[in-house]
Structures are given as structure tokens and as C-alpha cells.
């Protein structure tokens, strides 16, 4: 990648050499990687190059935050067809730059290569700042399940785009440019979160990972699943009602909100809203229920969608 990206204190040596040098003050580095493939994860007729740049950063740094870490560095592999306009690549770079600024990290380097399919590979790094990582296997019966971020809007935006409906701008924007609550990850770690993850495949699907890793079950309270007005309006335009809005909240995916479990009695800031409780799995297995019943929808399956 080019050296036009701004640096940060964490990136000691950025783009331009054979490899980057990124500080690891904690002595440990949180690392994650993800792919965006045109036609699978984004469409150029739906999203601008800047949108895709924002998304590439957001979905990776959200995973860093979900471990309770602070985003630091980013490596980007950019594979593009020969006829991709240079202007598209430049606008993509600006989106990456702006989302890095929002997250607090910086691009450390990357690579470019020709490819028949526009593909973007991102590796993100983070700093735990002396804290233990918040894993998926620490939830215990009695814990509170809470979330921060906007559930369902991205799924609604995707549905609107598929139908060619110019719906609520909030939903379209959330699909094109997710807005992860980066600072809430380290915050949750400081508050004593027992488990946490990024909601990318749907709330039920992702909380299922916590259940299986922790050997517990989760019951979501239907009364606490309150759709935002923009989500309700989008669903109305799509011909649905409140029940479909709740389905999008629990199974829509690509929210990049953070869901976490906290010990009962933890005083949570207002932006962490309670959604349910961790319960004993008993003989029913490590599953997620809604009001004690199996949900109608579970979420995104990358190999069957």
C-alpha cells in the first residue's frame, strides 16, 4: 500500500519498507483477519469506494475491540482487476484512512496484486493495555447479557438495497458503513465482562458461540428487543411489522455491535443495554432462546447463504 496513510504512535515503521514495525507495549498482540470479496461482501453499484474502505476497517477493528483491546495497526492486501478505475482505489484509500482515524489505529502496510475478482484482505492488530483478553468461554449462569451498537439496521439496509427501495438513510448508511463502538470493547473489559464478541452473523448466531464455548445457555427477553424507529420504518417499507424488525435485530447480521456478558449487579453505562440472561444449559444444550422458546431465525451462514 502507499505511504499516504497517516501514522500513529503504535506504528513505528509504516508503509514503504519490506515489513512494518508495530509497537506492542503490552507484550501481547491481538490479531485478526478477514476477507471482502466483491459480489459476496459488497457491490460497487450499492456502495461507494469510500464505503468499502470504511467497511474493510470496521469489520476487522470491531473484532479487535471484541477482545477488549484497543486497535493499533492494519495490514491490507488489495487484489484488483486491471480495469478497476484508479479513482476507485484512491477513494477506497480515503475511506480506510477515515475509519482508521475513528478507530484510533493506522495502516502499517500491505500489498497489491492483479486479480479477476476485486478482493480485499485485512489483518488488524490490537493492544490489550495490560488487561486479560475477553474471550467467549467465560460466561456463567446468572450473568447479564448486554449489547452496545445498533442491531438490525444493517440487515434492513441490505434488504432495502436488494428490493431497490430508497428507505431510511440510517439503515442504508449502517449497511454501507458499519459504525462499531470501538471504545466499548476496552470499556467492557474494565467493567469485568466475562465474555464478549462482535455481532457480525446475527445476535442469536453469535451468542450461540458464547454458549458453546462457555457451556451455558442464553435467554433473550422479548420485552427488551426494542427496534429503533428507523428499523421499524424500513420494515414497513418492506411490507413487514414489528415481528420482522425483531427478527432482523436477532438474526440480521453485519451489525458489528458488541455483545457481552457481565456479572449480575454490574453497573453498566447507558449505552450498554440489557437483552437477557445467561442460564444453566441443563439438558437442553448450549443454545440461545427468546422468551424461553427457540427463535424463528438464527443468523448468517457463510457457506449456505
41 is in an annotated binding site: yes
51 is in an annotated binding site: no
200 is in an annotated binding site: yes
214 is in an annotated binding site: no
198 is in an annotated binding site: yes
Cell of 265: 449487579
190 is in an annotated binding site: no
33 is in an annotated binding site: yes
201 is in an annotated binding site: yes
CB neighbour burial string for 196-216, b if at least 16 within 10 angstroms, e if fewer: bbbbbbbbbbbbbbbbbbbeb
- DSSP label at 194? S
Sorted by sequence, the CB contacts under 8 Å of residue 254 that are 6+ apart come out as: 59, 154, 155, 158, 175, 178, 200, 300
Q: Pick from 156, 145, 154: which is nearest to 225 by CA?
A: 145
Strand segments, DSSP code E, in the chain are 11-13, 21-22, 30-37, 70-80, 106-114, 119-127, 144-148, 195-199, 216-220, 257-262, 273-280, 288-290
The answer to whether the CB of 35 falls within 8 A of the CB of 123 is no
254 is in an annotated binding site: yes
110 is in an annotated binding site: yes
300 is in an annotated binding site: yes
The answer to whether the CB of 28 falls within 8 A of the CB of 128 is yes
Residues facing residue 219 across a β-bridge: 277, 289
| H or E segment to which residue 67 belongs | none
88 is in an annotated binding site: no
Q: How far apart are CA 161 and CA 45, in angstroms?
A: 10
* Binding site residue list for ATP: 110-111, 136, 200
* Binding site residue list for substrate: 41, 254, 300
* Binding site residue list for Mg(2+): 18, 32-34, 63, 111, 198, 201
* Binding site residue list: 18, 32-34, 41, 63, 110-111, 136, 198, 200-201, 254, 300
Amino acid at each position: 500500500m502507499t505511504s499516504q496513510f497517516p501514522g500513529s504512535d503504535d506504528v513505528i515503521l509504516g508503509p514503504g519498507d519490506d515489513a512494518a514495525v508495530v509497537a506492542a507495549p503490552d507484550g501481547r498482540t491481538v490479531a485478526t483477519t478477514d476477507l471482502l470479496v466483491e459480489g459476496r461482501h459488497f457491490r460497487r453499484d450499492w456502495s461507494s469506494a469510500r464505503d468499502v474502505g470504511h467497511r474493510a476497517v470496521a469489520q476487522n477493528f470491531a473484532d479487535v475491540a471484541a477482545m477488549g483491546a484497543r486497535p493499533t495497526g492494519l495490514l491490507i492486501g488489495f487484489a484488483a482487476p486491471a480495469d478497476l478505475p484508479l479513482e476507485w482505489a484512491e477513494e477506497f484509500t480515503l475511506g480506510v484512512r477515515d475509519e482508521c482515524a475513528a478507530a484510533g489505529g493506522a495502516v502499517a502496510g500491505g500489498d497489491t496484486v492483479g486479480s479477476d475478482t476485486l478482493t480485499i484482505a485485512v489483518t488488524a492488530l490490537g493492544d490489550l493495555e495490560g488487561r486479560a483478553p475477553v474471550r467467549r468461554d467465560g460466561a456463567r449462569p446468572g450473568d447479564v447479557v448486554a449489547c452496545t451498537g445498533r442491531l438490525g439496521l444493517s440487515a434492513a439496509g441490505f434488504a432495502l438495497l436488494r428490493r431497490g427501495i430508497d428507505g431510511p438513510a440510517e439503515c442504508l448508511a449502517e449497511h454501507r458503513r458499519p459504525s462499531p463502538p470501538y471504545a466499548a470493547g476496552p470499556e467492557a473489559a474494565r467493567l469485568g465482562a466475562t465474555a464478549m464478541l462482535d455481532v457480525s452473523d446475527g445476535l442469536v448466531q453469535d451468542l450461540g458461540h458464547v454458549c458453546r464455548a462457555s457451556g451455558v445457555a442464553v435467554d433473550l427477553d422479548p420485552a427488551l428487543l426494542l427496534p429503533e424507529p428507523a428499523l421499524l420504518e424500513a420494515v414497513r417499507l418492506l411490507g413487514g411489522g414489528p415481528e420482522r424488525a425483531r427478527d432482523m435485530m436477532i438474526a440480521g447480521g453485519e451489525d458489528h455491535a458488541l455483545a457481552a456478558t457481565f456479572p449480575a449487579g454490574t453497573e453498566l453505562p447507558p449505552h450498554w443495554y440489557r437483552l437477557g440472561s445467561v442460564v444453566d444449559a441443563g439438558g437442553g444444550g448450549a443454545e440461545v432462546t427468546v422468551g424461553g422458546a427457540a427463535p424463528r431465525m438464527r443468523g448468517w451462514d457463510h457457506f449456505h447463504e
